[in-house]
Structure 1
């Protein structure tokens, strides 16, 4: 699905749906009250967001993995494995596993370091600890009550912000902003813009500025591109291609975490041939392609770069020092 347009505006549709937001919030409260939270015995760093949809959690989790590794830790990723069929706990094998079993994000994370999927995040964290992890990076799960977090970051797309600020289904929020702010050590703001709510944040919530940077952009400079994406906000991917100098002649959007069929892949190849263009997708989408279908399809690979890396380092170091 795509975000409804009214999620960006506090108009009549949002107001009419706002009573249903109370049902969503009540469900979250019941879940929290009936869940026994557990801690794996090593620091847990959560990378989540306030809203549904893509914000940049996966590249943030990878940046945190790199930092923890430089600090001498042995971090493991833990994810729910959205889009996969395995309930876990299961350590992802980046060679043998497929996205339909483990999900696209865990498969991408497993290219960087040890990654686990588990519908019960607490069990996944404990399995990771038993396998040698001395730090856990929880990919998503800010609103999940089953695992005690030592440090949580909320990743925010600077162009999207928090939409109209209302809780689903009246808006894109997973929970009220004030409740979310109580959980986080910092907000990681990805992009050049500054959403209105950032200016009203309490001083106790630092904002870390970061930017998504292509690492293989030169491969696409001055090339004709047919681009396709099944992520939360495909336009961000197309803009990234244009920023590296690619000539994007055609785009094709799919639903977030879309499982590509042979027919769809064949149609994309036909269109790329007709346009005499390269066929390019995102790293996550490339992970979801069947291995036998990846030949001839490229991906734009990205990293998250912080404007002031020391901000993140100070927060993480402080949490580790607290045990």
Structure 2
């Protein structure tokens, strides 16, 4: 069954890049999806459904497309920028795959099966309070109660979680932008491209010209020195892997971005694209022939007990445009008091 689902997903992903016969055939379903989505959003706008404002202002980092676009490095960079601007941030997340039913704090020692891989990575990289829950409102309320010094909440994803009132919305795209421009299932869009947001970030490793959208900024995601999974203090520049047999593996939403980054660093790796949020319940590297296996930080949080001397972790950091940071800070400081 999983193999069949993977093939269907791959076919849809391919179709979402163009307006081919299958995409057009699915447009009636997309119309139904769009009507339901618009009705739900309108219900919050007119007050039939109530949004909840939590004690601290909220910045949502999300996307309007299906798949990974680079939200997690954006959240990490935004947390650091807000801290540098004098704020005390906290983070809330649904925590994809997290085994929680109520608001739960995430520490660097929390097992990934409990926290989810992305919240755990954010907690380890930033050191700020991170709470996960299927209900982001409850997560934010509990975080504020447990950490009264927190004066801004960053929501990792949750753009369509309208119940959580927000003060700033940032939408992240990658080089695929809006694909064929159709809503699900005819295209990759959860909401129309015309959806209001305060700013748009384009995570683009292929140097595409930025679209002429209001408040649109380039998002640069850059790699650092690789660190050894079994001995994190051991680090190597990526250039040192150029003469070795390298396999690059990534269980992220858009693994090609990771592979392209390694190629840009002068490597020519064999590539192994794993499903997003791959659980590593089985070892995909058992039969891999390589001198070094390069993986993402998101995957590394799930491999703490592994003992494979070939595995190196490639960290990434997002560089945010200072104009974007200024925009966010000004909106937060201009927020009406509760």
- Give the shorter-chain TM-score range: 0.7 to 0.9
Cα offset for 1:294?
5.8
Question: Which residue number corresponds to residue 142 of structure 2?
Answer: 127
Question: Which residue number corresponds to residue 3 of structure 2?
Answer: none
Is the 1:35–1:145 Cα contact (8 Å) retained in structure 2? Answer: no
Cα offset for 1:31?
4.5
The answer as to 2:189 corresponding to 1:173 is yes
The secondary structure found in structure 2 opposite 1:319 is helix
> What RMSD over aligned residues (CA atoms) do the two structures have, in Å?
1.8
Cα offset for 1:269?
4.5
Given candidates 14, 24, 29, the residue that maps to 1:5 is 14
Cα offset for 1:11?
1.6
CA distance in structure 2 between the aligned counterparts of 1:135 and 1:185, rounded to whole angstroms:
17
CA distance in structure 1 between the aligned counterparts of 2:61 and 2:50, rounded to whole angstroms:
21
The secondary structure found in structure 2 opposite 1:10 is coil
Consecutive unaligned residues in structure 1, runs of 5 or more:
none
The answer as to 2:248 corresponding to 1:227 is yes
Q: Which has the higher helix share?
A: 1
TM-score, normalised on structure 2?
Answer: 0.84
Is the 2:225–2:315 Cα contact (8 Å) retained in structure 1? Answer: yes
Which ranges of 4 or more aligned residues in structure 1 deviate by more than 4 Å? 29-32
The secondary structure found in structure 1 opposite 2:294 is strand
The answer as to 2:130 corresponding to 1:109 is no
Question: Which residue number corresponds to residue 328 of structure 2?
Answer: 316
Cα offset for 1:30?
5.3
Question: Which residue number corresponds to residue 64 of structure 2?
Answer: 50
Q: Counterparts of 1:262-277 in structure 2 under 5 Å?
A: 262=282, 264-265=283-284, 268-271=285-288, 274-275=289-290, 277=291
Is the 2:68–2:253 Cα contact (8 Å) retained in structure 1? Answer: yes
Cα offset for 1:322?
1.3
Cα offset for 1:45?
0.5
Is the 2:224–2:237 Cα contact (8 Å) retained in structure 1? Answer: no
CA distance in structure 2 between the aligned counterparts of 1:65 and 1:310, rounded to whole angstroms:
14
Is the 1:120–1:146 Cα contact (8 Å) retained in structure 2? Answer: no
Number of aligned residue pairs: 302
The answer as to 2:202 corresponding to 1:189 is yes
Question: Which residue number corresponds to residue 164 of structure 1?
Answer: 180
The secondary structure found in structure 2 opposite 1:77 is strand
Cα offset for 1:148?
0.6
Consecutive unaligned residues in structure 2, runs of 5 or more:
1-8, 227-235
Is the 1:76–1:136 Cα contact (8 Å) retained in structure 2? Answer: yes
The answer as to 2:104 corresponding to 1:86 is no
